[in-house]
Amino acid sequence: MIYLDNAAAAETDRETAEYFARMLVECGANQEAGHKEGRRLRRLIADAEIRLSRALTDSPDYRVLWCGSGTEAFHIFSTCIGRGRIVSSRLEHPALTAALKRLDPAFHTLGCDRRSGRLIPEEGNWDIAAFHLVQSETGIIQDPADLFPAVPGAVRFLDAVQAAGKMPLPGCADIIAVSGNKFGSPGCGALLVDPRWKGAEAFCERAEKMRKEQYLAGRMIPAAILTCAAAAEKRRADRDACLRRTTELNRELREKCLVLGLRPTIPGENASPFILHLLAPGYQGAVLVRMLSEEGVVIASGSACASETRTPSPALTALGYGPRDAFSGLRISFGFDTSTEDVKNLLSSLEKVLKKY
C-alpha cells in the first residue's frame, strides 16, 4: 500500500510504535495517584512537556496542556478562553470553526487572496484572533506575523496541527494547537501556552479545572504523552532534511500531474510541501479516491472530517471555486518517509484510473 493521506493521520514508524508499546508496559499507572509510582510518572511527564516544547518551538518554556487530538485542543481552547469578539476565516478546519461558533455564532471572517489563499489582514477591535498556520485541505501557509499585528490586544490562537513537527512554529502566538497524530505519535495532542502571555496562568488553571473538577476533558495516559514528546524530538532531528526531500517530491509530482490534466489549487510557493491539493476537472474527487484505493494507493478528496458530506468544501468555495470544481479536489499528503518510488507508483495509478473513469 502507498499511503499518502498523512494530513488525516500520519503513519507511526516501527521505532515509535515499539517505544509506545514499551511505555505502556513501563508506565501503566495513573499519574495522578499519590503513591511512589504516580510521583515518578508526574516527573516524567513534566520532563516530556519541556521536551515537546523545545522540539516544536525551539524553546523549553511553553506550558503544555495534553489532550487527545487537535479537535479536543480546539474544544479546550474555546471552553477556557472566555467569550468575546472573534476574528477568524472561512479557511479554518471544520473542528475549529465549530468550536469558535460555540463562542460566537456570527464571528467575523477575513477575506483571502483567491490565487494564493493568503488571508488579508484587517484591523479591528477583536478579543480573540484564531487562524491556521497550514490549511488542512489545500496546504496554504499563512504568515501570523502579518495577521496578528492587525489585532492588537486580542488573544492570538494558532492552529499548527498540520505544521507541528514539519516546519518551524512562529513565536508570535499566545496559544498553539498541535497534534501528535499528524507527526506519527498515536492518540495525543496538546495546547502550547506561551508563558509570556498575560492570560497564561488563568487559562491553564481553567483548563485544569475543566479536566479535574468539571470532567469535560479526558486524561491522557502517560505512554501517549511520553511517545508524543519522543516523536516530536525525532521529527526535529530530521526536520530540515525532510523539508528539503519533501519539497522536491512535491515539485516533481506537481509538474507531472499537470501532464495528466490535474491543476494545483495553490501555487507551490504558497503551500506546505507536505500537502499537494489538485483539481481534477470533469471528475468526482471522491470517486477517484475510491478507485485509487482499489489500486493500493491511499489519498483523500479533502479534509477527513468532511469526507462524507454532500456539500462542497468550504475552503475551496472560499477560494472562489464553484461546486463542480470543489467536488473535483484531490489531496495528496506526504509522510516523513515518502519515497520517489511512491510518487512514481501514484502517478502510474492516477493515469490508470483517469482512463478507466
Domain ranges of the chain: 2-7+239-356, 14-233
pLDDT digits (tens, 9 = 90+) for 29-58: 999 999 999 999 999 999 999 999 999 999
Rounded mean pLDDT, 134-162: 96
Percent of the residues in the chain that have a pLDDT greater than 90, as a whole number: 90
Does the domain at 2-7+239-356 match CATH 3.40.50.360? Answer given as no
DSSP bridge pairs for 190: 66, 178
- With a cut of 60, say whether residue 308 has pLDDT above it: no
- In this prediction, residue 311 has a pLDDT band, given cuts at 50, 70 and 90, of confident
pLDDT of residue 187: 87
Sorted by sequence, the CB contacts under 8 Å of residue 317 that are 6+ apart come out as: 90, 323, 326
What does DSSP say about strands 86-89 and 128-132: parallel, antiparallel, or unpaired?
A: parallel
CA 151 – CA 159 distance, rounded (Å): 17
Phi first, then psi, for residue 158 (nearest 5°) are -125, 120
- In this prediction, residue 309 has a pLDDT band, given cuts at 50, 70 and 90, of low
Output the CA angle 328-300-177, nearest 5 degrees: 115
Indicate the range of 152-156, 259-263, 296-300, 312-316 predicted with least confidence.
312-316
- In this prediction, residue 295 has a pLDDT band, given cuts at 50, 70 and 90, of very high
Rounded mean pLDDT, 62-66: 98
pLDDT of residue 305: 53
pLDDT of residue 244: 97
Provide the strand spans (E) within the chain.
2-3, 63-67, 86-89, 108-110, 128-132, 155-159, 175-179, 189-193, 263-264, 275-279, 297-298, 329-333
pTM above 0.85, yes or no: yes
Phi first, then psi, for residue 25 (nearest 5°) are -80, -45
Rounded mean pLDDT, 248-262: 96
- With a cut of 60, say whether residue 232 has pLDDT above it: yes
Assign domain 14-233 to a CATH class: alpha beta
- In this prediction, residue 314 has a pLDDT band, given cuts at 50, 70 and 90, of confident
Sorted by sequence, the CB contacts under 8 Å of residue 154 that are 6+ apart come out as: 87, 126, 127, 128, 129, 148
- In this prediction, residue 233 has a pLDDT band, given cuts at 50, 70 and 90, of very high
- In this prediction, residue 289 has a pLDDT band, given cuts at 50, 70 and 90, of very high
Rounded mean pLDDT, 85-97: 96
Return the C-alpha cell found at 79.
Answer: 471552553
What's the mean per-residue pLDDT of the chain? 95
pLDDT of residue 356: 92
Return the C-alpha cell found at 169.
Answer: 512554529
Rounded mean pLDDT, 167-192: 96
- With a cut of 70, say whether residue 82 has pLDDT above it: yes
- In this prediction, residue 302 has a pLDDT band, given cuts at 50, 70 and 90, of low
- In this prediction, residue 141 has a pLDDT band, given cuts at 50, 70 and 90, of very high
